[in-house]
Amino acid sequence: MQVYGQQVDSTRSGSISGIVRDSIHNYVLQLATLAVYRESDSTLIAYQLSNNFGAYNFNELPVDIPLKIVASYIGYRSVEQRFKIPTNTKKLLLPTLNLNKSEIILNDVIINAAPPPISMKGDTLEFNADAFNLDRNAVAEDLLKKLPGVIIWADGAITINGKSVSSILVNKKPFFGGDTKVAIQNLPKAAIDKIQVYQQNANPANPLDSITQINIELKKNKSIGAFGKLGGGYGSDKRYDMDVNLNVFTRKTQVAIIAANNNINKMTNNINTLLLNSTYKGTNDGGLGYQSDFNQKGINSSKAGGFTMQHDFIAVPDAYKKSRLQADYFINNVDNLTKLNTATIKAIGNDNSQLQQLSQDATFNNSNQHLNVRYEKLKNNISFFATSQVNTNSNHEQNSQISGVYRIKELESTNQIENLQEKHNRQFLLESGLEHRDTKYGGGPHDFTIKNVLSYNNDDNSQFRRSIFRSLFDSSQNINFNRHHNNTDKRLNEQLYTSLGNFSKWLFGSGGFMSGFSITLQNMLQINKELHNNNVSDVDNTGKKINNPYLTANNDYLITNEQPALVINKNFSRGLSSRYVKNISINLVAEYQFYYQHNISSHYFQNFTRRYQHFVPAASIRYENIQLGKYQDTYFLSFSKSMSYPDLNQLASLVDSSDLYYIRYGNLSLKEADKRELSFSLKHHSFNNDKPLNYNIEVKAGIINNNFSDSIRIDNSGRSSYYEVNIDGFKYINFNGKIGRAFKFSNHQIQVYFTSGINVSSLPSYINNVKNWSDNINNTNTLGLYYSFSNYFDIQLQQKAFFFRTIQHGAGKDIFNSNIQSTEAGGSLNLNKLTIGSNISYNYTSATLSSSRNFTIWNMNVAYRLLRSNTLELKITAMDILRQNIGIINFGSNNTLTTGTVTALKQYFLFGIAYYPRKFGWNNTKSNDKSIDQ
């Protein structure tokens, strides 16, 4: 592993090699740190660790320039060797670097004038932050970009030697929710002592199933700090944007308070969204990562706020001990104003199609509150957690719509609807779990897992609906509705999961072939109790409410679902030290399902009792090929069988005919659906430091017999009735893939990536009593190129394409197509305190029986940082500069395709100011290390 430092030198064409030894015992030193510096100014040029034979080899070093190499190792004195690579040979074999035992050791750290940039402690790779010279305002992200094998991808993902980093910890703890961006874009490099990289076992049954983690170790006097953002802006058309973020942390406690308010379609659905987009470093991209969403329907005004906290009762948790309390609260209120016009084409058989045109005006208000409290404790091999949640949602919607249905360009009917709806939902959840794992010996009969989830939901729904239906072919079908729904639904659900074993050693002893098996007993029990109280009345011509005896009903619905299973696993491994490791894991699940439904209703036709029993097995095989220092390939093949059962509304629904274009009926003769699925995946991780190539593909194929489908009947007035039926032969195959390659050299980084998703399905149904197949294909592709030069410049290019096609067979031969494409370019230029960011996207959309549309959205902003610490920012934002944004509706499903337009956010200009308060560590007269006060 060889890594180059911060400087670029065109004369780099030389190489050196040598060996590091213990001077007393004359044995080689593995994993010794080697660092090459320029002798004149001590600039770090390259560094690496010695291999298993104590050897090192540096390439692409400057020739004919005085250099020095420093070798260091824990418990030894550092050795320095000066040299110059000759221009004629461009190669140099250095004399053996002999290290002597150190006599002055403090806490396993050798006292040296220049700390080694990299070292190995046990199974942890450590990078010394002080060995890297960066800008005084640099953050952890800037430091990570200098580390060997570390790639920060354009989408924010981080890989080390090709392996994805699952999380970044700070002092061994999640940092304000655990998202990597919050830590690496807020913590100053000057507060960091070390960056630690290590593997953590994710599955005791498979030692190769590990995850890569990064821990940022702060300096001892920097373990207390505060940071945040206070920002606001106002602009044209009365557009505004304000956000507040204050974060404080100590050795054991983290607290964040967040608030945001805007009317520019910047949507915030949780606290993490606000935390991620108010980082100190984040706005250096010009603020374009978190901008107005021009794809949102209508104009949205959002108010959001909340807090999050975390307290660790153990200051330095590890893999064997942890005691942590977490809590977060979030409230969000959104007002939306929408006007839309759509056209929906539907295949109705005999090569005919139906066209429904809709015009709607709607106002919408939605308010959510979420409170979550979680405690978790880990001691040795026993872990416990308890979580409680309270969620509330209030929804108010008022809309009016006019629709007409055409067949062969002739108007068949019209329907005018006015709707006022109030929804209130309250949810309470309590989840707990207890687990014991014998990680040392791979599990035993005393291992167990118990998890229980208890939830309660209460829904209140009040709706006034007035509709006027007119048929142009049969006036006797004309009808008016003025209907009031007042419904209450209560649900109590409990899930209990238990797992016992490994029983293999108890059954077969500790030796022999059978002892290598893992045998586990599992059971999942679900009990769901639902109470539905529907009160429906119709208003007559005099304004009097009259009870609707059909739609008014009470239902007491019970579901129990139990799934006991025997799980058998076997691992086969072989390897060669420092060369390769290969592993095969076979997993078999013998599971049986007992499903029970019972409903008691005030309507006799809704009373039913049903019992089901099915064997639902699963099997998988996983193969891993790890070529150490080169790549890792993981192959996974699985098969599963699962059952889906019709619910109350599918079996015996109460038919509300006030929406005459969509009337749905139940079917008490429905059977359970039987799904068989085969899946295959391949993941490739390159361990190449400078040019990693990573790719993964996943293919799923399945067939569903007795699939729940529709039998659609359309009358001569254009009214559609949907009946639930079982039909065999639903087939599908889905493909998802991603490939990416990064090129990292000096201060330059190039990334090329391609993602693709293809979903193909054949869905059988009935249209006017004729069997029909809808052959559907959805294809989404993204091709991207990203380039960055240090922290000064970055640019990203993307080509996105979405395609949908449905072909009808049986009832007709209609073909509907939908196509959406976008070409996007965005980047930023960072000139010390000035940041210029811009992005532009060209959008094209087309669909069957709809004219194509195209428009370009160009956004730009200019930000300037003031003060020595860059903590005050002035920003000018210009969005949709060309004023071309159009709200486009374009989607399809089976035998329908919908296109149209909707109100959308358009051009605005905004001036903003933001302050980023930052303080890490406190002044300490006993220490020479001052606090970072910004």
| Residue 61 and residue 15 in contact, taking contact as beta carbons nearer than 8 Å | yes
Scanning 28-159, the segments in alpha helix (DSSP H) are 140-144
**Sole residue written with tokens 């359970």:** 672
Give per-10-residue mean pLDDT for the chain (934 aa): 42 84 84 84 78 84 91 84 92 92 50 63 80 87 82 78 81 89 92 87 55 88 93 95 94 95 88 86 55 86 95 89 95 93 84 84 94 94 95 95 86 92 96 83 74 97 93 89 95 96 76 76 97 94 90 96 95 80 94 97 95 97 87 95 96 89 92 97 83 91 96 88 94 96 82 96 93 94 91 90 93 89 92 90 92 93 92 94 91 88 93 95 54 54
Q: Which residues contact 511 (CB under 8 A, 6 or more apart)?
A: none
C-alpha distances in Å from residue 228, one per residue of 21, 167, 871: 49, 22, 10
- Measured distance CA(677)–CA(624) in Å, rounded: 23
Select from 162, 139, 133, 138 the least CA-distant residue to 150: 162
Predicted confidence at residue 373, as pLDDT, reads 97
C-alpha distances in Å from residue 220, one per residue of 194, 506, 601, 687: 11, 48, 67, 33
Select from 404, 420, 484 the least CA-distant residue to 658: 484
| Residue 585 and residue 570 in contact, taking contact as beta carbons nearer than 8 Å | yes
Burial environment of residue 707 by CB neighbours within 10 A (0 to 12, 13 to 18, 19 or more): buried
- The DSSP call for residue 76 is B
Select from 507, 506, 502, 514 the least CA-distant residue to 438: 502
Q: Which residues pair with 303 in a beta bridge?
A: 261, 333
| Residue 589 and residue 565 in contact, taking contact as beta carbons nearer than 8 Å | yes
Select from 329, 176, 180 the least CA-distant residue to 259: 329
CA atoms within 13 A on the CB side of 254: 22
Select from 575, 685, 696 the least CA-distant residue to 629: 685
- Measured distance CA(172)–CA(550) in Å, rounded: 61
* Residue 257, token pair as written in the block: 């308070």
Helix (H) or strand (E) holding 100: none
Q: Tell how many helices (H) and how many strands (E) occur in the chain.
A: 5, 54
- Measured distance CA(632)–CA(650) in Å, rounded: 47
| Residue 281 and residue 314 in contact, taking contact as beta carbons nearer than 8 Å | no
- Measured distance CA(691)–CA(750) in Å, rounded: 9
pTM across the whole model? 0.84
- Measured distance CA(903)–CA(131) in Å, rounded: 55
Q: Which residues contact 547 (CB under 8 A, 6 or more apart)?
A: 535, 536, 537
Q: Which residues contact 344 (CB under 8 A, 6 or more apart)?
A: 355, 356, 358, 896, 897, 898
Select from 139, 184, 143, 5 the least CA-distant residue to 745: 5
- Measured distance CA(172)–CA(175) in Å, rounded: 9
- Measured distance CA(888)–CA(902) in Å, rounded: 6
C-alpha distances in Å from residue 463, one per residue of 417, 421, 423, 484, 662: 13, 4, 8, 6, 17
Query: Could you write out the DSSP letters of every residue in 836-878?
Result: EEEEEEEEEEEETTEEEEEEEEEEEEEEEEETTTT-EEEEEEE
* Residue 296, token pair as written in the block: 């949102």
Predicted confidence at residue 759, as pLDDT, reads 97
Q: How many residues does the chain have?
A: 934
- Measured distance CA(81)–CA(236) in Å, rounded: 65
809: left (phi over 0), alpha (psi -120 to 50) or beta: beta
Select from 57, 31, 55 the least CA-distant residue to 46: 57
- The DSSP call for residue 289 is T
Select from 838, 668, 875 the least CA-distant residue to 235: 875
Phi then psi for residue 502, to 5 deg, are: -100, 125
- Measured distance CA(764)–CA(708) in Å, rounded: 10
* Residue 332, token pair as written in the block: 């969000």
Predicted confidence at residue 502, as pLDDT, reads 85
3-state secondary structure of 47: strand
C-alpha distances in Å from residue 850, one per residue of 158, 463, 897: 43, 34, 10
- Measured distance CA(353)–CA(344) in Å, rounded: 10
- Measured distance CA(344)–CA(325) in Å, rounded: 51
**Sole residue written with tokens 């920002």:** 231
* Residue 7, token pair as written in the block: 């400087």
| Residue 119 and residue 72 in contact, taking contact as beta carbons nearer than 8 Å | yes
Predicted confidence at residue 287, as pLDDT, reads 44
Neighbours of 768 (CB within 10 A): 15
- Measured distance CA(252)–CA(324) in Å, rounded: 9
